[in-house]
Structure 1
Amino acid sequence: MFTLDADAFEALVGDVFDTLPDDMVDGLDNVVIVIEDLPEDGSLDLLGLYSGVALTDRGQYGFGELPDMISIYREPLLSIVDNEEQLREQVRITLVHEIAHFYGIDDDELHSLGWG
C-alpha cells in the first residue's frame, strides 16, 4: 500500500483537479470537494461520493441551498495503488466519476463510457 499524509493527499487532489478539462469543471456551481480519510461506514470499498441534487433533477435552484458535496476518500484510494502515478490516475477517475453524477450521468452510462 502506498502512503501519503493528509496534507500531501489534499495537495495531490487539488493538482489533479486542476488538470481536468475546463468544460467539465466550469459548470460546478455551488459544489464543494472535501477530502476524508474514510467513508462513514469505515470501509475501503468506496473511493468517492457525490451528495446533492444532480443538475438534471433540479427544479428551482437559487440562493440559500447548501452546496453539493463531492467526498474523496484518502485511505480507500491509497489501499488500491502502489505509487503516486497510480494514485493520481485513480484520483482523476474518482473525480470524473463524481463530477459526472453532479451532471446527472448515472453509473450505467459512466460504465458504458469507460469510467464506471
Structure 2
Amino acid sequence: MAVIQMDAEAFEALVVEELDALPDDMVDGLENVVFVVEDRGEDGTLDLLGLYDGWSLTERERYGMGELPDRIILYREAHLAVCADHATLRDEVHTTLVHEIAHFYGIDDARLHELGWG
C-alpha cells in the first residue's frame, strides 16, 4: 500500500473539518478538552492513531479547579501510514475522533468495539 502524503497544516485542517462535522450532541458536552495533532505517539511507533489524555466524565469527581485541559491527540504519521487514499484518511480521522471523544464520556475500548468504533 502506498503511503499518502499530507503536511501537518493540511492534516490539522482535516481534523478540524471532521470535528466540525460531528453531531452537536457529541461535542457540546466536551468541557476543558483541547484537540492536538502530533506526528507520532511518545514511543515513536505508528501503532497508535489517537489518545485521550485526561479524566473521563465518570471520573471527574477527582477533577479540580485549575486543571490543565484534557487532550485528545491525533497522530498524523500513524494515520497516513494506514490509509491508502484521502477518503480513507478522512474516515479514519472521523473514527478516531469519535473513539477518543467516547473515552471522554467514559466509554471503554471493549464497549467501543461492540459499537463498531474500536
Tell me which interval the TM-score lies in, with the shorter structure as reference length. over 0.9
Deviates more, 1:44-53 or 1:59-68: 59-68
The one-letter amino acid of 1:37's match is D
Which residue pairs with 1:26 in the alignment?
A: 28
Q: Does 1:47 align with 2:34?
A: no
Q: In 1, Cα distance between the equivalents of 2:77 and 2:117?
A: 21
What TM-score does the superposition give when structure 1 sets the normalisation length?
0.97
Q: Which runs of 5+ in 2 are unaligned?
A: none
What TM-score does the superposition give when structure 2 sets the normalisation length?
0.95
Secondary structure at 2:13 match in 1: helix
Q: In 1, Cα distance between the equivalents of 2:98 and 2:62?
A: 26
Deviation at 1:61, TM superposition (A): 4.3
Q: Deviations over 1:62-93 (max 9, x none)?
A: 53111000010000000011111100000000
The one-letter amino acid of 1:90's match is E
Which residue pairs with 1:81 in the alignment?
A: 83
Identity over aligned pairs, percent:
63
Q: How many residues in Structure 1 have an aligned counterpart in Structure 2?
A: 116
The one-letter amino acid of 1:110's match is L
Q: In 2, Cα distance between the equivalents of 1:3 and 1:16?
A: 18
* RMSD of Structure 2 on Structure 1 (CA): 0.9
Which residue pairs with 1:97 in the alignment?
A: 99
Q: Does 1:17 align with 2:19?
A: yes
Q: In 2, Cα distance between the equivalents of 1:110 and 1:77?
A: 19
Deviation at 1:60, TM superposition (A): 5.6
